[in-house]
């Protein structure tokens, strides 16, 4: 790490190896990292979920480099680890790359095991061989399975994943932690609740609601719509990852949540009302688009996160309220139609 002292601040310019930086959370993280002066290598296979155009304004800058490649491809990964910024190798790997959609994992489990488990193992081996001092594995609250009507997930809650997606993410976490136990390699894990914000692919629930409502198509809500998720604004998650780099410890698991538990039905109504207000359409015209459809097999009922350990150990807490975050998100989809038109279902 290069240490730079200014009059009032001591801060670090990091060389970051980011995988999956063309996807939803990765895109936001890349932007935050560049805005803070860090050097970013973005390694992404550009699956259906990744868009290189998310950072077209950064291409050609000396502190940003995009390389197309697959995290399962040992040779390609090893080659990328030889790249440098300012004559130095990488300080941190942040592994966002994943197959991330639960519904897809139910119908095509194999690619989830491949990317999420094998890909993570490939990245860990290459990062350790290249002497990268720190590896952050981006994981999910879904590794803990489903909650009843009370209680919250805690760091040491039992791992009990339900879907092929969450099972593959659990496998990835365990392989990552094994690199600490086996080699003393500095691996840190983050587990976060459902993110929302800019750049999320239209197949996910919030963009589906916004984009289908704008086309006056029905909004599919699984089963009774009373499944509960805890929603966090994506920038709060990204800030937490920076805090893990600054204040975290090897082999620790850090939990992030938005403390904004909502049923899927409530969430749909809030978004539709926000959208109605912003587009001058009567609320009832959008609310009537909500359509209950057959529930997802094995659908988890409730997730909620106790992130007090991250407040105590990282000095992190979410700062964007659900209402403000939803406003920003709806505004972003209204002003960035090229991002989603053609991809919305």
Ligand X SMILES: NC(=O)c1ccc[n+]([C@@H]2O[C@H](COP(=O)([O-])OP(=O)(O)OC[C@H]3O[C@@H](n4cnc5c(N)ncnc54)[C@H](O)[C@@H]3O)[C@@H](O)[C@H]2O)c1
Nearer to ligand X, 26 or 161 (CB): 26
Residue 138: beta bridge partners?
A: 190
CB of 234 to ligand X, least distance (A): 8
Please report how close the Cβ of residue 275 comes to ligand X at its closest, in angstroms: 20
Q: With respect to ligand X, which residue has the nearer C-beta, 14 or 198?
A: 198
Asked if 22 contacts 54 with a C-beta cutoff of 8 angstroms, the reply is yes
Per the annotation, the verdict on 254 as an active-site residue is no
Q: What is the DSSP string of 53-89?
A: GGGTTTTT-TTEEEEE--TT-HHHHHHHTT--BTTB-
Measured between alpha carbons, how far is 212 from 205 in angstroms, rounded to an integer?
Answer: 10
Rounded to the nearest whole angstrom, what is the least distance from the CB of residue 13 to ligand X in the complex? Answer: 24
Nearer to ligand X, 15 or 116 (CB): 116
Q: Is 283 a catalytic residue?
A: no
The string over 6-16, giving b where at least 16 C-beta atoms fall within 10 Å of a residue's C-beta and e elsewhere, is eeeeeeebbbb
Q: Which is nearer to ligand X, 26 or 220 (CB)?
A: 26
DSSP string, 328-342: HHHHHHHH-HHHHTT
Q: Return residues touching ligand X (CB under 6 A).
A: 19-20, 22-26, 44-47, 49-50, 70-72, 96-100, 115, 119, 138, 140, 169, 192, 194-195, 201
Query: Which of 175, 198, 184, 193 is closest to 240 using CA atoms?
Result: 193
The minimum distance between CB 201 and ligand X, in angstroms, equals 5
We find the least distance from the C-beta atom of residue 196 to ligand X, in angstroms, to be 7
232, 257 Cβ separation under 8 angstroms: yes
Catalytic residue among 142, 173, 186, 300: 142
Give SS3 for 211: helix
Q: Taking the complex as a whole, how short is the minimal distance between the CB of residue 200 and ligand X, in angstroms?
A: 7
Is residue 64 part of the annotated active site? The answer reads no
Question: Of 111 and 289, which CB lies nearer to ligand X in the complex structure?
Answer: 111
Task: Give the active site residue among 64, 144, 165, 254.
Answer: 165
SS (HEC) of 127-153: HHHCCCCEEEEEEEHHHHCCCCCCCCE
Instruction: Measure the CA–CA gap between 125 and 138, rounded to whole angstroms.
Output: 17
Question: In this complex, which beta carbon is closest to ligand X, that of residue 80 or of residue 286?
Answer: 80
Euclidean distance between CA atoms 45 and 52, whole angstroms:
10
Contact assessment for residue 266 and residue 230, using Cβ atoms and an 8 Å cutoff:
no
| Active-site residue identified among 44, 91, 99, 141 | 141
Dihedral over Cα of 308, 314, 319, 320: its sign: negative
Do residues 172 and 113 touch, judged by C-beta distance below 8 A? Answer: no
CB 169 within 8 A of CB 192: no
- Least separation in angstroms between CB 47 and ligand X: 4
Nearest alpha carbon to residue 271 among 259, 258, 289? 289
Residue nearest to ligand X (CB): 23
Q: What is the DSSP letter of 159?
A: P
Of the two residues 15 and 163, which places its CB atom closer to ligand X in the complex?
A: 163
Q: Which residues are part of the catalytic machinery? A: 141-142, 165
């Amino acid at each position: 790490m290069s240490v730079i002292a200014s009059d009032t601040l001591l801060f670090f310019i990091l060389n970051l190896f980011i995988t999956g930086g063309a996807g939803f959370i990765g895109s936001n993280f890349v932007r935050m990292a560049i805005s803070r002066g860090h050097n970013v290598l973005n390694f992404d296979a550009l699956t259906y979920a990744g868009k290189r155009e998310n950072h077209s304004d950064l291409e050609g800058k000396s502190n940003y480099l995009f390389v197309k490649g697959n995290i399962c491809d040992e040779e390609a990964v090893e080659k990328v680890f030889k790249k440098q910024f300012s004559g130095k190798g990488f300080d941190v790997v942040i592994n966002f790359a994943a197959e991330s959609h639960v519904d897809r994992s139910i119908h095509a489990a194999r690619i989830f095991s491949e990317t999420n488990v094998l890909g993570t193992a490939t990245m860990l081996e290459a990062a350790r061989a290249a002497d990268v001092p720190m590896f952050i594995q981006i994981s999910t609250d879904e590794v803990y399975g489903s909650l009843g009507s009370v209680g919250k997930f805690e760091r040491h809650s039992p791992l009990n994943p339900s879907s092929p997606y969450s099972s593959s993410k659990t496998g990835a976490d365990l392989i990552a932690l094994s690199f600490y136990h086996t080699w003393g390699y500095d691996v840190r894990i983050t587990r976060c609740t459902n993110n929302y914000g800019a750049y999320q692919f239209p197949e996910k629930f919030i963009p589906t609601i916004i984009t289908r409502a704008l086309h006056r198509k029905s909004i599919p809500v699984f089963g009774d719509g009373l499944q509960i998720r805890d929603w966090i604004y994506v920038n709060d998650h990204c800030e937490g990852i920076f805090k893990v780099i600054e204040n975290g410890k090897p082999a620790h698991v850090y939990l992030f949540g938005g403390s904004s538990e909502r049923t899927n039905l409530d969430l749909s109504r809030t978004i539709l009302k926000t959208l109605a207000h912003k587009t001058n359409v009567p609320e009832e015209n959008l609310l009537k688009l909500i359509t209950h459809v057959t529930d997802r097999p094995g659908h988890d009922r409730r997730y909620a996160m106790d992130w007090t350990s991250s407040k105590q150990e990282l000095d992190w807490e979410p700062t964007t309220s659900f209402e403000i975050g939803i406003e920003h998100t709806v505004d972003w989809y209204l002003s960035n139609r090229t991002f989603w038109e053609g991809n919305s279902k």
